Amino acid sequence: MKRLRRVSEAEVIAEFLKNEFYRQEFHRDREQFERLVLEADLSNERENAIRRALLFRRRGHMWRELPRDTQWWQVRIKAPDLQLIRVFPRADWRKVAQGNFQLKHIVETIRDGRFSPNVREFVTVIQSLSYRLRLEYDNSSVLLIGIDEHRPITILEGNHRLTAALLASPAILQNRFRVMAGFSPRMNDSCWYETNIPNLWRYGLNRLRNIYDREADLARVLPQFDPVLPAASAEAAVTHKAATEQK
């Protein structure tokens, strides 16, 4: 795996949010913030704060489990790296993986039809995406995490796309996406990288502490950049922004 350039956390969050913004949680925000999400100005700290708050509505519980010293890099996946990449053991991936979460193994299982009937619909979605990737250009970003580029790497975001791409061709996986990897010597402390009882216990406690997620509350974020805003509600923040842009 070749490191190409350092990337900021703000850039990674912007790319992550692009992949998430179609989801139902963002229906009310789409008209107001679509440009900010799809055409990110990473030099604008106000925009960066808004994107972070929006992402944290859905993924704050995930982001908090990454070590604070995580460094993000844009990387290029090489052929030998395919032995290191693994999906996170959750939901239907468990049924397909059958205990081996290495990406290459999962692709071989799908290709050989060695999966149980109760995940056929899940597999069909991946196969459909695989056919589309053979025909269409896709420059979306996928996120990986690990200790470094020489040890096992877990897919944080992009399980479906990377599996579908490798199912189509290793060349498509290596060349089709922007790949961002977060590295930390403490990544073993993250439940998204190492699933064990201490990590899951810490994750559970963090979820309880953040039932109300302050970092996902735009009404708290925007007044930092717009001091005249009342911090009473997100609606007040959005109304102020709309009125300002009309002037």
Model pLDDT for residues 24-79, shown as the tens digit of each residue: 888 888 888 999 999 999 999 999 999 999 999 999 999 999 999 999 999 999 99
Residue 80, CB-side half-sphere exposure with 13 Å CA sphere: 5
> What is the 3-state secondary structure of 146-213?
ECCCCCCEEEEECHHHHHHHHHHCHHHHHHCCEEEEEECCCHHHCCCCCCCHHHHHHHHHHHHHCCCC
At residue 241 the predicted structure's pLDDT band, cuts being 50, 70 and 90, is very low
pLDDT attached to residue 242: 46
pLDDT attached to residue 63: 96
| Domains in the chain: boundaries | 2-209, 217-246
Decide if 86 contacts 155 (C-beta within 8 A): yes
Of all residues in the chain, the percent with pLDDT exceeding 90 is: 70
At residue 228 the predicted structure's pLDDT band, cuts being 50, 70 and 90, is low
Indicate if the pLDDT at residue 129 is higher than 90: yes
Indicate if the pLDDT at residue 171 is higher than 70: yes
Indicate if the pLDDT at residue 138 is higher than 90: no
The chain-wide mean pLDDT, for the chain, equals 89
Indicate if the pLDDT at residue 98 is higher than 70: yes
